[in-house]
Amino acid sequence: MQPTCDLYDEHLDALEVLALPWRDFGGRTSFHGPAQTIRCFNDNTTVRSQLEAPGEGRVLVVDGAESITHALLGDRLGELAVANGWSGLVIAGAVRDTDALAALDLGVKALSAVPRKSRKEDSGVVGQTIVVGGGRVSPGDLVVVDADGVVVLPPDLR
């Protein structure tokens, strides 16, 4: 897969740039795949339910409202993602268990780390178009992640 900067130079504003201060937490810093989307706030029950399903190389993009008060991913869900074939996660929110996440063959971009686990309210929404860092992401869009950031290509640009 081309680097994000090259993709941007080729497609300019036809693709989406998720412009947030991302940090790498997984064992892979570059990853890509079709998007699956979630919108949730301080509650990772929907994240878990998605990671329990076959990932088939997809990237789970989580609009966590940029909250860094509760972790939406930790070591157990990271291990579940690897076991079920997810390429990675892009989380506009926080994670925990960072040493364990770094040891996994999984891409994880998030905003921060925090020790506090998430709430369990089952309040998330799956499979809708979301906006993260000013960029729109719809299920099935191609998400490309590397050290320079996160870009999203709609199906017609692949």
Binding-site residue ranges for substrate: 74-77, 96
Could you give the CA distance from residue 86 to residue 83 in angstroms, rounded to a whole number? 8
- Residue 146: name the closest of 100, 96, 87 by CA: 87
Write phi, then psi, for 18 (nearest 5 degrees).
Answer: -90, 95
- Residue 155: name the closest of 145, 144, 141 by CA: 141
Could you give the CA distance from residue 156 to residue 158 in angstroms, rounded to a whole number? 6
Give the residue numbers of the binding site for Mg(2+).
Answer: 97
b/e map 124-136, b = 16+ CB within 10 Å: beeeeebebbebe
Give the residue numbers of the binding site.
Answer: 74-77, 96-97
Tell me which amino acid residue 11 is: H
CA quadruple 57, 35, 118, 30: dihedral sign: positive
